[in-house]
Amino acid sequence: MKTKSIEIPLKDVTLKGELTIPKDADGVVIFSHGSGSSRFSPRNKFVAEMLHQQNLGTLLFDLLTEEEDTIYENTFNIDLLTSRLIEVTDWLLHDKNLKGIPIGYFGASTGAASAMGAAAHFKNKIKAIVSRGGRPDLALNHLPSVTAPTLFLVGELDYPVIEMNKLAISRLHCEKDMQIISGATHLFKEPGKLIEVVELSISWYKEHLTKQKFTSEKATFAD
C-alpha cells in the first residue's frame, strides 16, 4: 500500500490531494472536509489510516486552492464545494486503475453538505456516505435525491448540530441512520470518541460499500 501526492486537473483549477489504495482494495472513500480544514486534517487522516487497515482506499484532497482558501466566504460556498467534489469524483470514476471499484463519501462539518449534494448528482454510483459532525442541513434541497445509505455521526454535546442532523435525516428517503456519540463535542476530541466514530464508519462501509461484515477485534486503533 502506498500513498501518493496527486494533482487533480479540473475544468478551472488543479487541486492537490493524497490517494492511498491498498492492494486489491474493496472500495475507495473520498473525503470532503469542513470549513477551514484541508487534506492534512489530523482527524480525517486518522480515520483514513484506520480505513486502510480494513482494505479501503482513501482520497483526501483540498476542495479549494490556496488562493481560494484565503477568501472566508469560499469555505461556506456549498455550491462551489459540491461542484468541486462532483468533478473530483468524476475524475476518480474515470481512473482506469480503479474501474468498477465501489466509491463512498466521508463528509465532515460543511463538507457533509457537499457530499450530500454530490451523492444526489451521482445517484447509485455512490454506495455509502458517512457524515462526522456534519452540516447536511446546508444541502436540504438535494437530500431527497440521495440514494446512498447514509450515516450521521454527531457528538452528544454538539447540541445545535444534533438538531440540524435531525432535520436533514427527515428529508432523506434512502437507508439512513443517526448515531449520537455520548460525551462527545463537535470535534470528537474527548478520549476514545474518535475511535467510536471510526468503528461506526467502518461498520457502515463494510455493510453498504463492500458488502462485508466488520468485527472491531480485527482493527488496531490508537487514539
Mean of pLDDT values over 97-110: 94
Q: Reply yes or no on whether the pLDDT at 218 is more than 90.
A: no
Q: What is the pLDDT of residues 4-28, one digit of tens each?
A: 999 999 999 999 999 999 998 999 9
Return the C-alpha cell found at 11.
475544468
Determine the pLDDT at residue 217. 46
Q: Which of 193, 138, 201 is nearest to 164 (CA)?
A: 138
Q: Residue 53: what residue type?
A: Q
Q: What is the pLDDT of residues 31-90, one digit of tens each?
A: 998 766 778 888 899 999 999 999 999 999 999 988 888 888 888 899 999 999 999 999
Q: What is the pLDDT of residues 50-62, one digit of tens each?
A: 999 999 999 999 9
Return the C-alpha cell found at 43.
482527524
Q: What one-character-per-residue DSSP string does 127-184 give?
A: EEEEEES--GGGGTTTGGG--S-EEEEEETT-HHHHHHHHHHHHH--SSEEEEEETT-
pLDDT confidence of 132, banded at 50, 70, 90?
very high
Helix, strand or coil for residue 221?
A: coil
Determine the pLDDT at residue 219. 46
Task: Give phi and psi for 73, each to the nearest 5.
Answer: -60, -30
Q: What is the pLDDT of residues 166-200, one digit of tens each?
A: 999 999 999 999 999 999 999 999 999 999 999 99
Three-class secondary structure assignment of 32-99:
ECCCCCCCCCHHHHHHHHHHHHCCEEEEEECCCCHHHHCCHHHHHCHHHHHHHHHHHHHHHHCCHHHC
Asked if 132 and 161 touch (Cβ cutoff 8 Å), the reply is no
Asked if 21 and 57 touch (Cβ cutoff 8 Å), the reply is yes
